[in-house]
Structure 1
């Protein structure tokens, strides 16, 4: 294991998320170094290593997990692999930063948490929107009572989903690999924010349907939730919509907060005093604050900002 000054990373899974964000975030973080990646397809692995200058490439995940020079593993694989890979990493003494959703079930979440606790390694989850400055600002305004008592929170999200069978990412609509469809994939991000901003959810109702897709997972999900506080929440999530509405609205007795699109960082504050507009853009690489916090958590001996026990609640709602 390296010392706390530099965390040497391995990545399991070299798909779209790793290519677009994870590699770059690790490269940007001053306390991190990418040492190895794993992909079963040897030709694709070779290309990935060449594209990003990765020193070590493995086609067998056991070889990467067993590499004594690796301190932490970023799991960027289909959801059904999260549990066994986390258990293996914990047994090998590796810290784990796992993609969302956490696992196929709450029971699997519990096993992941227990394994990492018993091994004394850090477990974090990649709900990177928790690090958006606009989300921090919304949380602050809600806590300050700027919009009075919160009545409701609403999110609408979608993705084009252009993957075909056999292509990277198609596992998202294969129930045995992804666990669900739009709800698990894009909906889980918003549910995690709901819980973070307004606290525990006491009741859930809704529908998950395959409306237009030629697959078994849901491409449309509509949920209504009731928080322990009495506030309500509404979530719509879809696969196969060309433009993501990315709507995010909090309504209270004294006003409204509108962060649409959420990924953009603009925030409209509507109260009886008038309308204000603020700008709180996210990091250029959404995953960088996530990586930075995780590395700091290891160095400081604390839980990361998005940890296993807290994210378990997101899976419980789903």
Structure 2
């Protein structure tokens, strides 16, 4: 890997959509030795508006022009997944480190191509699985690793969502349910975070199998997935996801079962979790989450580039989430 020789990370963003309003981009100017210097979006009026509102000095409507900007020395790809592979190749060819949104790509094969491009160019590749750096999930990992709930037996992910009216009325503009753009449906968008978090807690998933279907027939992607998986550590896991459930059935929770207790949390909820230990509980553990939710992870990326530690989310780990999702949705029954 080539050494990052600059003393400051100067970010250029490709695709300044909703995720860049609060979650990610503003944090780049709050981290020491990090600045957002350029943004890109094909729609000129929208990119000019974004740059003006966020005080970004440069804007572009062409990704190649942003990547070629000599002031930009790190690229954040915040586009839908169908552009991740191409943009990663362009950034890597320019010798610039890459930070890419999740899911990492549409398929595991595309993830591997991204890894290969960055490896050949000797530039680091990071993925926006920012939950790995949030305080309550870091604490859960500490509890697991310390044996606080004994030997881990199994984990179960349960997610049921209603089909919101706006999904139907704005279906033509919803890339998240178009497999050609997103790789799949809301399962790929949301379960990718959950499965990556499981990888963070327990290590690599070595076996996975499942089934998927499109029961609602509202959009082309799968809307229900069920499956099981096994970690290299020996922990067993199951998951059940449905995105056309009734209001009464709505739930989002993950439960980790140990020989001496359990931990329950919401992946997409508040910064808190419930802990049961040795027959007692639950005790509620609460943590304050940052306004810009990706800031802790971006800080680790800046630190790694400047030679001060390692980031917990890279291309290798990010690709594993895609591999697991691919196994869980295959075969698709209908």
TM-score, normalised to structure 2, is 0.87
User: Cα gap change, 1:307/1:16 in structure 2, threshold over 3 Å: closer, same or farther?
Assistant: same
Partner Cα distance (2:5, 2:207) in 1: 45
CA distance change for structure 1 residues 219 and 282 in 2, over 3 Å: closer, same or farther?
Answer: same
* Number of the residue aligned with 2:76: 74
> C-alpha separation between the residues in 1 aligned to 2:251 and 2:133?
20
Query: Partners of 1:14 and 1:237 in 2: how far apart?
Result: 29
Deviates more, 1:236-245 or 1:266-275: 236-245
Shift of 1:28: 1.8
Gaps of 5+ in 2: 326-334
How far the C-alpha of 1:173 sits from its partner, in A, is 1.1
The separation in 2 between residues aligned to 1:124 and 1:260, in whole angstroms, is: 24
85-94 or 99-108: which moved more?
A: 99-108
State the match for 1:199 in structure 2. Answer: 203
Change (3 A) 1:93 1:233: same
1:176 aligns with 2:180: yes
Q: State the shift of 1:118 in Å.
A: 2.2
8 Å CA contact 1:152–1:231 kept in 2: the answer is yes
1:296 shift after superposition: 0.6
Larger mean CA deviation between 157-166 and 3-12 belongs to 157-166
Give the distance between the partners of 2:217 and 2:39, measured in 1 at CA.
Answer: 32
Partner of 1:313 in structure 2? Answer: 320
Number of the residue aligned with 1:99: 101
> Which residue matches 1:117?
119
Name 1:220's counterpart in structure 2. Answer: 224
The one-character-per-residue Cα deviations of 1:32-51 (angstroms, maximum 9, x if unpaired) are 11111111112222222222
Is 1:229 the counterpart of 2:236? The answer is no
Match of 2:44 in 1: 42
Cα distance 1:245–1:286, how it changes in 2: closer, same or farther (>3 A)? farther
Shift of 1:185: 0.6
Shift in Å at residue 179 of structure 1? 0.6
Shift in Å, 1:157: 3.9
* Root mean square deviation, CA, Å: 2.3
Distance verdict in 2 for CA 1:191–1:96, change over 3 Å: same
Aligned to 1:284: 291
State the shift of 1:3 in Å. Answer: 6.1
SS in 1 for 2:104: coil
Q: Pick from 305, 311, 334 the counterpart of residue 304 of structure 1.
A: 311
Does residue 188 of structure 1 match 2:192?
A: yes
- Please tell me whether the aligned partners of residues 157 and 186 of structure 1 are also in contact (alpha carbons under 8 angstroms): no
TM-score (norm 1): 0.91
**CA shift in 2, pair 1:287/1:234, >3 Å:** same
Point out the more displaced range, 75-84 or 238-247. 238-247
Equivalenced residue count is 315
